[in-house]
């Protein structure tokens, strides 16, 4: 058999001859369901969380389409109301990063918990792996509120067997605490990270998203 003839063999013919065909890595489509932190509020398009995370993953060899499902001002209730139609048929996995606006509005933790659980249940009905990204309540809400809110994410991750990244802002913490001066990594509103802050957040969260990709490819 000449080389040219061999090259023209179909994959099926190769299998029949007992030859192996190199596996092709399939791309993964991930929905990032979130609020302004996901959407990229106040930043140039390529400086936001989704573009920076996509670039971080691609630099490590991952073929991934990261869909920006961030809506500025959205609460967990808003996320629950739109998750069903946001999960279009091609989506293979989902990042859920909601709760910051619930904190800003003082929404009862039990309400936030119920909404997030509804989102996870929607993913379960579609057999989609999820990375749940947590938030941490500030101390000025009181000890009881903080304990109730902070427990939402690890509790739900355990109950629904999802991946967990405990705090969206983990990459900005030094020795477990936020620095007193955050001006270098935050926008003037002191709520949203600037481009450098997003880069640090992506660097910290990236390995958890890689774990999500691995689950989606199983």
Residue with the two structure tokens 């709520």: 191
* Identified catalytic residue from 10, 88, 181, 189: 189
Neighbours of 149 (CB within 10 A): 24
* Identified catalytic residue from 35, 74, 102, 192: 192
Does 160 qualify as catalytic in the annotation?
no
* Identified catalytic residue from 36, 74, 86, 112: 36
Does 189 qualify as catalytic in the annotation?
yes
Report which of 86, 118, 99, 127 is spatially closest to residue 216, judged by C-alpha positions. 127
Q: In what order do the strands lie in the sheet with 93-97?
A: 64-70, 28-34, 93-97, 130-133, 163-165
Which residue numbers are catalytic?
A: 36, 189, 192
């Amino acid at each position: 058999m000449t080389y040219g003839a061999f090259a023209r063999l179909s994959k099926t013919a190769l299998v029949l001859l007992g030859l192996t065909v190199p596996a092709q890595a399939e791309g993964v489509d991930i929905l990032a369901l979130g609020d302004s932190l996901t959407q990229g509020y106040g930043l140039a398009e390529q400086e936001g969380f989704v573009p920076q995370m996509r670039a971080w993953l691609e630099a490590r060899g991952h073929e991934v389409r990261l869909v920006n499902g961030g809506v500025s001002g959205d609460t967990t209730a808003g996320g629950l109301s739109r998750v069903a139609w946001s999960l279009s048929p091609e989506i293979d996995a989902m990042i859920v990063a909601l709760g910051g606006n619930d904190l800003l509005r003082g929404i009862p933790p039990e309400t936030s918990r119920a909404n997030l659980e509804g989102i996870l249940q929607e993913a379960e009905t579609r057999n989609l792996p999820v990375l749940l990204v947590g938030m941490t309540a500030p101390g000025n809400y009181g000890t009881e509120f903080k304990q109730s809110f902070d427990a939402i994410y690890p509790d739900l991750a355990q109950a629904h067997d999802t991946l967990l990244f405990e705090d969206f802002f983990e990459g900005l913490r030094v020795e477990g605490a936020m620095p007193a001066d955050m001006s270098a990594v935050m926008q003037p509103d002191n709520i949203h990270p600037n481009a450098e802050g997003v880069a640090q957040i992506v660097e910290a969260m990236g390995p958890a998203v890689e774990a999500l990709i691995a689950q989606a490819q199983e």
